Amino acid sequence: MNFIKVGKENSGSIDLYYEDHGLGNPVVLIHGWPLSGASWEKQVPALIKAGYRVITYDRRGFGQSGKPASGYDYDTLAEDLNQILVTLDLRDVALVGFSMGGGEVARYIGAHGTGRVCKAVFMAAIPPFLLKTSDNPAGVEGNVFEGIKQALVTDRPAFLSSFFSNFYNIDVLGGKRISEEVVRLSWNVAAGASPIGTLDCVQSWLTDFRDDLKRLDVPTLVVHGDADRIVPLNASGKRLPEFVKNCRVAVVEGAPHGLNWTHAEEVNQELLTFLGMVG
């Protein structure tokens, strides 16, 4: 098993689990909350087949990575991503961030620039700024996030069940584009995550990435479903072109938040077309 050490906590090390497959230009896939790198199951084979080197990793606190009691802010998470890129000496990288993973892409570029990055993809992602404020009226009301945190504290496993119902829009797509088994698999992965990390990450979603995005000077793709109940399209993906010059938005009709599974064919086509473009 492959691990990269990114820190220490008391007597133990903080290690990130990663997988590194295929040959060609590197693509780093950054998963969403509260899943792991395994959530890219529908994308990894397609990317390898198309001739890319594909790196996935589990965010600290999730999947097979270490589960420390701290470090769930985006400055730390972006530094974890930087350690992946530096340790593996990845250059001309395409960074693909799903949901919360889009925050790592934005903050990494805000902190480190695009010296190692050739393209960026925000998939159902939380940037530019998810919280509604006086200067961000398109955001989501703060009490929504407080409700999520309270539900996690009260009964995390029960909250995860309701969360995945809306993650995949099961009432509409269940039995058609998503099976009970896939939902159960997602729940199992999420239930195995750090309870502390799962809770602390909710606060990090309120990070303002608007200044980070202004440093993005590489071709950028946004892929977002117009039926996303978790990260509303109008509060996130549609707004990226306000801050990123060379940005294209691909809206997937009828797709929920977990569109990389339910609409994998459409998502993969958008991704492969974008990655194959020159410049």
Q: State the CB neighbour count (10 A cutoff) for residue 133.
A: 11
Instruction: Check whether the bond before 128 is cis (ω within 30° of 0).
Output: yes
DSSP 152: H
Query: Annotated catalytic residue: which of 15, 186, 204, 257?
Result: 257
228 annotated active-site: yes
DSSP H or E run through 30: strand 25-30
Query: What is the biggest distance separating any 2 CA atoms in the chain, rounded to whole angstroms?
Result: 50
CB 103 within 8 A of CB 240: no
- What is d(CA 18, CA 181) in angstroms, rounded to the nearest whole number? 24
- What is d(CA 201, CA 100) in angstroms, rounded to the nearest whole number? 9
What DSSP letter does each residue of 241-276 carry, written as one string? GGT-SSEEEEEETT--TTHHHHTHHHHHHHHHHHHH
SS3 at position 220: strand
Query: Annotated catalytic residue: which of 80, 200, 228, 263?
Result: 228
**DSSP bridge pairs for 140:** 131
- Of 221, 220, 222, 232, the residue nearest 256 (C-alpha): 232
One-letter amino acid for residue 188 of the chain: N
21 annotated active-site: no
Query: Annotated catalytic residue: which of 36, 39, 65, 99?
Result: 99
Positions marked active-site: 99, 228, 257
